[in-house]
Structure 1
């Protein structure tokens, strides 16, 4: 009997289904009888006995799985096709089924969302934000994902619930670091560093202990008292040490040497503190050196002139005018008296009066220190008003002047001119001063502010240089302190002493028949340098012919600021 064409194919499919059904039943039976053993052994034992997800290659490997016929007993669960193209595996929802591991499928960790959904399926959807902070955090997440509409809606809702929710979010996710003590002034010891390292390595979550409180500047310098000057280490290990003459000097001789350095240049003396700790202690704490700096006239307050020393033209004063100094403000003897009367010839009388003035200045300095107006000689040198001679004072003035529009050019705006000019003052220890008003920059002027340039080479930048004289206030207080150091009320406090001595009067030549008089108050600009600013108090002109005074306005004039010039030396 001949076989129909479709019967052979149906018979083959039925045999394959029957074979698959038997394998599936055997696998289910094995899994239900020994679930624990199958879970531990995993793929090892199950793969050796039966591998339900891998089958022998056949001609129907890539065919779509046929639907089972009704009443054949085939499970009604849906068939799943493996990603590797293997035959489908059916799952029975009515029986317990443990999915075996297979290397043909991606690992559980690589599946990502599918495995997570299967594991956390019972947890349901993520909860909606409740508090204002949760709404704000959700809004930040939406903003990072690019959902600006949802982010804006959540931001609004969060701020309606709590207006300060942004600060709470910042404190939660970006907390401020805990304040730690600064260790810049002192270095930590090796023992403390080892303890800190041990504590940090022993517990990763424990907070580090705060560092010890750093020493103050006075305590740090006081700790250098017992140190000695050490020689520099040899350049090559094993070679003898280099000689250090300062290390073998007695302390008294070392103080005397440093005192001579301070008398020549205080700046060089202070820079010695950078050499070693011992010299830093001597510079900061040796009051004997600072007393010499304050008292002597070469570098200290002995060079502050409280009376006029010369005329405006740098000529010597008459002996009978040394008391008043021919001050233009008094005009009892005045400038005419200086010009009409003969010049002084008794040099001995001049020397005697200047020695008396020097003694009065020294008495004032000692009285200020005796009454504890200044805590130390170093404090006095820094805080007491004094004129500085190792540089010049510069005033920069800027103002705007309207210009004239061109008749041939139509513009919406009117032209203006920005005018800049400079005033220079250089003080000398003998009571003279050089004043200059020019448009030249400081770099082109400061090196020419000398007596020789003013007297002999009045050209270029020094064409309009003016000779003059200066004096400071405080002569009355100096005389009182010489007679009775406890009497003057001007030295009752630091502020009163400063106010009594911080005024400066400068008189210079003018144009033609005029003399100029400038009055300043000495102030401090900045935190480091002291006595580096001259504030205007008044600016006047004196007519020698008519004996009249005129006052200049100070609308555009700015204060003078000190600028150091190394070529000036000590200002001699």
Structure 2
């Protein structure tokens, strides 16, 4: 048996040898690394590692995203409503700018924010499967990409409370300032005007001409500044009748236009009572049958001395009288009535995007986390017309290939037989129907403002013996008004057996309005 002193000496020798080997390796390592770096430099950038040419990404993957208190109220559906943009006329050729935009849109994303933006676009258009894969790529590159997206697209809302919690200090105590900051004191003393007071302050202002391009040159002419106010109001009223959106955008031209648009109640009265965009074009009684046929006088007329034309004229007068009665009692101004009173919009289409998941294969067992699934996407379309008719369509085709073909001439042309090409393949499955809004006539025991806001749509069925009835409540989403239709019920009526059957609304989503330029400003195309 060896003595303890000998064992201890052997351990000391082993430690010394191990230290010597480690020190020798550390001395020889730098020359080897320098040779590897020189070899990579000679090889050129084409042989660089993949990590060097990949998009930048953050290395901190352990950070967990915790919802901030500043954005909890922005997670609702209405705050992120993005309607489709169909302001491009499909019958016109693409300009140079549109081709450049297409190339830029088809460019492959490189950063996490670009992947996230493309995922949001796909989710908005209903491509839920593509958006999920893009979201995964974005979060793998940057776990906080959603905050970068909010900072870019919603900077005012995202940082509002942060700015309020940390007010800027124009004159900090540790700053070497010898002259007082008078601008800060002037900002504190300036009164903050309300919007009505601000508009009233524009009353005495006129239309100012543009300054000369070169200093010292004569001022360019401004003929509209010399027009009397009566003629200027008449011009603004004509613009409002053609397009209310352009009429509102004129308020950005100058303060004089902003004052006239906000205070001229006669223009807003003309908009509300007119049939172009106002309530003169709303339908509160059935005007047509399900298949757009004329109504049967025997069912509509209670008195033989009244004709159908006189009946429609009487209903139009009742609708105008109701509109005049609501002014002052329910809505304080004509402008407020146009913005808040429920109405159908005709210069676009209401679209419902539905996504649901179903199993990928038939199995008697329960679905597990690794079971294949399919994400199914389909769309519902509703286009309304002023004569009380509507076009309804259920299809898997995306909106860009559908909305421009939802017209009465195409529906009449392709209704009997469908060809395997556009637009016949889509329009042949569209259904004719009719619509009407609720009013105090249908609910006499309810207040006038509460009786309105419900929409009833009746369409033909897929089989001639059926008729579909859809009921909605009109709501507003985001900053726009009257752009959302919430489902209330969906029924099927059997004409042969006189039975009603209710459809479930498990997967169906609300309709959102999207303006379509090819329909025209008034929506009659």
Q: TM-score scaled by structure 1?
A: 0.56
Pairwise CA distance, 1:386: 0.5
Q: Does 1:395 align with 2:352?
A: yes
**Counterpart mapping for 1:483-494 below 5 A:** 490-491=447-448
Q: Aligned in 2, Cα 1:466/1:201: closer, same or farther, shift over 3 Å?
A: farther
Q: What do residues 468-525 of structure 1 show as CA deviations (whole Å, max 9, x unaligned)?
A: 00000005179x7xxxxxxx7614xxxxx1x311000001111112111100000111
**Which residue is 1:521 aligned to?**
473
**Counterpart mapping for 1:349-388 below 5 A:** 349-371=307-329, 373-388=330-345
- 1:552 counterpart (479, 488, 503): 503
Q: What do residues 29-59 of structure 1 show as CA deviations (whole Å, max 9, x unaligned)?
A: xxxxxxxxxxxxxxxxxxxxxxxxxxxxxxx
Pairwise CA distance, 1:215: 2.0
Pairwise CA distance, 1:206: 13
Q: Does 1:224 align with 2:181?
A: no
CA contact (8 A) 2:380 2:395 kept: yes
Pairwise CA distance, 1:201: 5.0
What CA distance in whole angstroms lies between the structure 2 residues aligned with 1:412 and 1:385? 45
**Which residue is 1:465 aligned to?**
430
Pairwise CA distance, 1:233: 2.4
What CA distance in whole angstroms lies between the structure 2 residues aligned with 1:205 and 1:567? 55
CA contact (8 A) 1:539 1:551 kept: yes
CA contact (8 A) 2:471 2:490 kept: yes
**Which residue is 2:518 aligned to?**
567
**Which residue is 1:456 aligned to?**
413
**Which residue is 1:35 aligned to?**
none
Q: Does 1:273 align with 2:251?
A: yes
Unmatched tracts of structure 1, length 5 or more: 1-174, 182-199, 325-343, 481-487, 492-496
Pairwise CA distance, 1:302: 1.0
Q: Aligned in 2, Cα 1:323/1:555: closer, same or farther, shift over 3 Å?
A: farther
Pairwise CA distance, 1:323: 6.0
**Which residue is 1:435 aligned to?**
392
CA contact (8 A) 1:397 1:557 kept: yes
Q: Aligned in 2, Cα 1:381/1:203: closer, same or farther, shift over 3 Å?
A: closer
- The 3-state SS of whatever aligns with 2:447 is helix
Pairwise CA distance, 1:390: 1.2
CA contact (8 A) 1:306 1:475 kept: no
Which of these two proteins has the greater Rg computed from alpha carbons?
Answer: 1
Q: TM-score scaled by structure 2?
A: 0.60
Q: Aligned in 2, Cα 1:210/1:201: closer, same or farther, shift over 3 Å?
A: farther
- 2:380 counterpart (423, 441, 444): 423
Q: What do residues 246-299 of structure 1 show as CA deviations (whole Å, max 9, x unaligned)?
A: 212111121112111111211111111111111111111111100111111222
Q: Aligned in 2, Cα 1:321/1:231: closer, same or farther, shift over 3 Å?
A: farther
- 1:538 counterpart (489, 498, 515): 489
Q: Aligned in 2, Cα 1:289/1:402: closer, same or farther, shift over 3 Å?
A: same
**Counterpart mapping for 1:276-425 below 5 A:** 276-322=254-300, 349-371=307-329, 373-404=330-361, 413-425=370-382
CA contact (8 A) 1:522 1:531 kept: yes
Q: Aligned in 2, Cα 1:203/1:255: closer, same or farther, shift over 3 Å?
A: closer
Q: What do residues 53-82 of structure 1 show as CA deviations (whole Å, max 9, x unaligned)?
A: xxxxxxxxxxxxxxxxxxxxxxxxxxxxxx
CA contact (8 A) 1:262 1:268 kept: yes
- 2:453 counterpart (486, 502, 506): 502
What CA distance in whole angstroms lies between the structure 2 residues aligned with 1:306 and 1:313? 18
CA contact (8 A) 1:405 1:415 kept: no
- The 3-state SS of whatever aligns with 2:337 is helix
CA contact (8 A) 2:438 2:455 kept: yes
Q: What do residues 139-180 of structure 1 show as CA deviations (whole Å, max 9, x unaligned)?
A: xxxxxxxxxxxxxxxxxxxxxxxxxxxxxxxxxxxx964468
CA contact (8 A) 2:440 2:451 kept: no
Higher relative contact order (CA 8 A, sep 6+): 2
What CA distance in whole angstroms lies between the structure 2 residues aligned with 1:209 and 1:245? 38
- The 3-state SS of whatever aligns with 2:490 is strand
- The 3-state SS of whatever aligns with 1:362 is helix
CA contact (8 A) 2:211 2:220 kept: yes
**Which residue is 2:28 aligned to?**
none
- The 3-state SS of whatever aligns with 2:441 is helix
What CA distance in whole angstroms lies between the structure 2 residues aligned with 1:294 and 1:202? 57
What CA distance in whole angstroms lies between the structure 1 residues aligned with 2:182 and 2:282? 65
**Which residue is 2:420 aligned to?**
none
What CA distance in whole angstroms lies between the structure 1 residues aligned with 2:272 and 2:408? 27
The number of residue pairs the alignment matches comes to 341
CA contact (8 A) 2:277 2:345 kept: no
What CA distance in whole angstroms lies between the structure 1 residues aligned with 2:217 and 2:182? 50
Pairwise CA distance, 1:205: 13
Per mean C-alpha deviation after superposition, the further-off stretch among 529-538 and 460-469 is 460-469
What CA distance in whole angstroms lies between the structure 1 residues aligned with 2:370 and 2:186? 66
Question: How much is the aligned-residue C-alpha RMSD, in angstroms?
Answer: 3.1
Unmatched tracts of structure 2, length 5 or more: 1-163, 171-176, 416-423
